[in-house]
């Protein structure tokens, strides 16, 4: 093997249409999951299937190249990957950047940081650093248009690393069998590493971190080595395909995005089922024949673009765009996604992929566009879109440039001075904020809204959060620190507070105390002190009044998704403390009983209001504002 490409013959794998059919299965599962189809609550396993497919195909390509040329050209490999992946990826990032520049995502996410992290292929590490789980990310009321780039970053990191590893494997082993054993060993280590990472560093690391997800990819790599063993007979593999597909589909309809094997480092075991589908796709039989049907193949060929563009489209095209049923909305989203992906496939992906271009020029163009995109994001995308949404000038300038009222100046709700509102809290506040921002936009004289909310970050100044839904730990100082300080510089008149499970599970304030449960008097004393401190900070900053919204208890189906009884999650205790705290600030804090108002409407198994059982949907958050909370906020 070598890094040289001077005498390397072009290498191609024999095309197998059924593999594209598998890509179709994977991307359709993701579409159904992201489209909100409750039947496919575990549709994210489509991404894991993609991972295993990538490991199989890339390793097969490297093995064939070595067997053909007795070496591997790293430059040629990286050049092929750049021309295969970057055109559509950068096109997607450019489109999202333009939409962000036009303020299409105001009040929802930090698009600028998302673009930069995605362009630099480290989106998964950014998500991990932010401390939010995958379920929280997908379930957020204001999702980001690039929330799906984490998986692409993991694959791209694999593409950079794996050829170098295979170079080492080839130099270490003189026969295919010995090289295969090396790959099997690496796969075994990666499969073991995933649950260890979950145990040591927590559920989020098990889901987001590259080492924890390499096991799924390397299962595909091991399969590529195994099927190329001499005298390996491809008989009876079709039955493995059906068995693997059955496991994939059962997982897609029974797993939850909030808990389960994905959060415990067990996805490498699921990858074995994915490997079964690949075996079936390569064997003569009914499984291969069905997957080779032209509709499946054509969707599979465009699956990369479909995956890239579907999520920005889903974020932009909502029920506020079209007042139609969710089934019709899903169909429209898919039509738009397929159209954009088709155009990208025809005019970006295929022409650039087929174009004859030197490796140096390929790398130069890719580097130049990536740098230009990063600089453009820094210059043109507003820095604080994740923090501020205005009913009048939504995110078009940074917070520092916004007009600030004179200190102590009176505020009215007239057309010259919309009510200035700041909303603080955890993911429940993030969910409500989508309706609050939409409500403000309906009447530009109503309000300007600053959103200072972060998933799983409440008002406790605890050092960590540790709950029995997964033991995630999170530093939330930034949410209650510089972000809140910046929002308070805008002199909000009304502060909306809303916190749910972030302050209702075990918390650690002092290391020597360890994690405290809500039923512990010390827990209550610490939390009461933090609540008093926050309210005093808001009052000292000139906030006129606080509307503290009580969060309804999680529903039975949300609790069911946990897989066990969350005996340490006590929203009832937190709500009682909020009621007690409000009495200490009688002329400043008003408690809004959303729990009672929603409880009268959310009966039995009605999932209309909170589809996941905890967070308001975008539609229901808007209804809460229109029918209940909006009139309370604007009252004098």
Q: How confident is the model at residue 561 (pLDDT cuts 50, 70, 90)?
A: low
Instruction: Please say if the pLDDT value at position 193 is more than 90.
Output: yes
Instruction: Return the percentage of the chain with pLDDT > 70, whole number.
Output: 83
What average pLDDT does the chain have? 83
Residue 539 CB-half CA count within 13 A:
11
Instruction: Please say if the pLDDT value at position 475 is more than 60.
Output: no
Which pLDDT score is estimated for 59?
97
Residue ranges of domains in the chain, CATH in brackets: 17-376 (no CATH), 388-634 (3.40.50.1110)
Please state at what angle helix 267-281 crosses helix 210-227, rounded to 10 degrees: 30
Give the pLDDT mean for 278-296: 94
d(CA 528, CA 33): 39
DSSP secondary structure letter of residue 44: T
| Model confidence pLDDT, tens digit, residues 481-510 | 766 887 788 789 999 999 988 888 888 888
Give the pLDDT mean for 404-422: 55
Instruction: Please say if the pLDDT value at position 373 is more than 90.
Output: yes
Contact 89, 148 (CB under 8 A): no
- Phi, psi torsion values for 498, nearest 5 degrees: -155, 125
Q: How confident is the model at residue 164 (pLDDT cuts 50, 70, 90)?
A: very high
Burial label for 461, CB within 10 Å (0-12, 13-18, 19+), is middle
Give the pLDDT mean for 112-136: 87
Candidate from 66-75, 587-596, 610-619, 625-634 with smallest mean pLDDT: 610-619
Which pLDDT score is estimated for 412?
41
Q: Is 495 left (phi over 0), alpha (psi -120 to 50) or beta?
A: beta
d(CA 311, CA 114): 13
Higher-confidence residue of 295 and 381: namely 295
The β-bridge partners of 490 are: none
Which pLDDT score is estimated for 453?
80
With tokens 């954009």, the residue in question is 340
Instruction: Return the percentage of the chain with pLDDT > 90, whole number.
Output: 50
d(CA 63, CA 180): 10
Higher-confidence residue of 111 and 224: namely 224
**pTM of the complete model beyond 0.75:** no
Name every residue whose Cβ is closer than 8 Å to that of residue 408 and which is 6 or more positions away in sequence. Answer: 542
Give the pLDDT mean for 47-54: 98
Which pLDDT score is estimated for 628?
93
Contact 438, 622 (CB under 8 A): yes
DSSP characters for 460-485? ---SEE--TTT------HHHHTHHHH
Contact 55, 216 (CB under 8 A): yes
Which pLDDT score is estimated for 280?
94
Instruction: Please say if the pLDDT value at position 555 is more than 80.
Output: no
| Model confidence pLDDT, tens digit, residues 308-349 | 999 999 988 876 667 678 889 899 999 999 999 999 999 989
d(CA 326, CA 344): 27
To 5 degrees, how large is the angle CA 510–CA 454–CA 51?
Answer: 105
Which pLDDT score is estimated for 467?
43
To 5 degrees, how large is the angle CA 455–CA 50–CA 29?
Answer: 65
- Helices in 70-175 by DSSP H: which ranges? 74-101, 111-119, 123-130, 134-139, 149-172
Which pLDDT score is estimated for 203?
86
Which pLDDT score is estimated for 313?
95
SS3 state of residue 143: coil
d(CA 578, CA 263): 32
With tokens 């808990």, the residue in question is 259
Which pLDDT score is estimated for 185?
97
With tokens 């499984």, the residue in question is 287
Contact 85, 297 (CB under 8 A): no
Among the listed residues 305, 573, 558, the one whose alpha carbon sits nearest the alpha carbon of residue 460: 573
CA distances to 125, 373, 579 from 120, rounded to whole Å, are 11, 10, 47
SS3 state of residue 447: strand
Contact 173, 179 (CB under 8 A): yes
| Model confidence pLDDT, tens digit, residues 508-547 | 888 788 888 888 899 999 999 999 999 999 999 999 999 9
Contact 11, 80 (CB under 8 A): no
Higher-confidence residue of 534 and 603: namely 534
Q: How confident is the model at residue 106 (pLDDT cuts 50, 70, 90)?
A: low
- Number of residues assigned to the chain: 636
d(CA 161, CA 478): 34
DSSP characters for 304-369? HHHHHHHHHHHHHS-TTT--S-HHHHHHHHHHHHHHHHHHHIIIIIHHHHHS---HHHHHHHHHHH
Give the pLDDT mean for 296-309: 97
Candidate from 79-93, 301-315, 460-474 with smallest mean pLDDT: 460-474
DSSP secondary structure letter of residue 628: I
Which pLDDT score is estimated for 430?
85
Instruction: Please say if the pLDDT value at position 623 is more than 70.
Output: yes
Which pLDDT score is estimated for 232?
63
Instruction: Please say if the pLDDT value at position 393 is more than 50.
Output: no
Give the pLDDT mean for 46-51: 98
Which pLDDT score is estimated for 233?
61
d(CA 354, CA 344): 14
SS3 state of residue 397: coil
Radius of gyration of the chain from its Cα atoms, rounded to whole angstroms: 26
């Amino acid at each position: 093997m070598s890094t040289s490409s001077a005498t390397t013959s072009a290498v191609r794998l024999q095309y197998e249409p059924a593999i594209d059919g598998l890509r179709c299965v994977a991307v359709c599962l993701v579409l159904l999951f992201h489209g909100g189809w409750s039947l496919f609550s575990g549709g994210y396993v489509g991404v894991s299937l993609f991972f295993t497919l990538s490991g199989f195909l890339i390793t097969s390509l490297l093995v064939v190249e070595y067997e053909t040329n007795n070496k591997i050209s790293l430059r040629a490999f990286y050049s092929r990957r750049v021309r295969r992946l970057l055109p559509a990826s950068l096109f997607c990032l450019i489109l999202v950047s333009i939409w962000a520049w036009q303020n299409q995502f105001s009040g929802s996410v930090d698009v600028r940081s998302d673009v930069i992290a995605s362009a630099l292929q480290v989106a998964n590490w950014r998500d991990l650093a932010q401390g939010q789980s995958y379920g929280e990310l997908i379930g957020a009321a204001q999702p980001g248009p690039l929330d799906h780039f984490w998986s692409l970053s993991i694959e791209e990191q694999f593409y950079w690393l794996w050829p170098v590893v295979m170079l080492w494997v080839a130099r270490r082993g003189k026969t295919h069998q010995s090289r295969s054993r090396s790959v099997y060993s690496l796969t075994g280590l990666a499969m073991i590493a995933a649950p260890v990472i979950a145990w040591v560093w927590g559920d989020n690391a098990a889901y987001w971190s590259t080492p924890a997800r390499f096991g799924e990819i390397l299962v595909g790599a091991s399969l590529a080595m195994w099927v190329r063993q001499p005298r390996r007979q491809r008989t009876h593999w079709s039955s493995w395909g059906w068995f693997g597909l059955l496991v994939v589909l059962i997982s897609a309809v029974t797993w939850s995005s909030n808990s389960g094997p994905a959060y415990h480092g067990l996805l490498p075991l699921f990858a074995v089922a994915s490997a079964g589908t690949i075996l079936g796709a390569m064997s003569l039989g009914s499984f291969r024949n069905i997957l080779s049907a032209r509709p499946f193949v054509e969707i599979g060929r465009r699956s990369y673009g479909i995956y890239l563009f579907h999520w920005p489209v889903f974020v932009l095209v909502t029920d506020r765009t079209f007042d139609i049923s969710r089934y019709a909305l899903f169909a429209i989203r898919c039509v738009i996604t397929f159209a954009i992906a088709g155009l990208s496939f025809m005019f970006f992906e295929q022409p650039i992929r087929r174009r004859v271009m030197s490796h140096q020029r390929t790398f130069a163009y890719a580097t130049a566009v990536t740098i230009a995109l990063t600089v453009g994001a820094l210059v043109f995308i507003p820095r604080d879109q994740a923090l501020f949404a205005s009913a009048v000038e939504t995110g078009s300038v940074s917070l520092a440039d916004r007009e600030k009222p004179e200190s102590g100046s009176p505020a009215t709700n007239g057309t010259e001075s919309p009510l200035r509102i700041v909303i603080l809290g955890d993911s429940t506040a993030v969910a409500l904020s989508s309706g609050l921002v939409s409500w403000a936009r309906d009447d530009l004289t109503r309000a300007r809204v600053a959103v200072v909310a972060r998933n799983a970050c409440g008002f406790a100044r605890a050092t960590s959060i540790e709950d029995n839904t997964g033991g995630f730990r999170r530093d939330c100082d930034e949410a209650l620190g510089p972000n809140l300080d910046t929002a308070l510089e805008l002199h909000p008149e009304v502060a909306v507070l809303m916190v749910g499970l972030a302050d209702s599970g075990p918390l650690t304030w002092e290391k020597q105390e360890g994690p405290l449960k809500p039923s512990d008097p010390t827990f209550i004393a610490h939390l009461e002190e933090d609540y008093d401190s926050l309210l005093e900070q808001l009052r000292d900053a000139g906030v006129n009044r606080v509307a503290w919204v009580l969060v309804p208890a999680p529903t039975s189906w949300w609790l069911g998704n946990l897989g066990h009884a969350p005996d340490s999650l006590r929203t009832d205790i937190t709500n009682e403390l909020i009621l007690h705290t409000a009495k200490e600030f009688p002329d400043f804090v008003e408690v809004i009983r959303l729990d009672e108002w929603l409880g009268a409407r959310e009966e039995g198994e009605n999932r209309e209001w909170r589809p996941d059982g905890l967070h308001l949907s975008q539609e229901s958050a808007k209804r809460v504002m229109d029918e209940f909370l909006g009139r309370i906020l604007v009252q004098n």
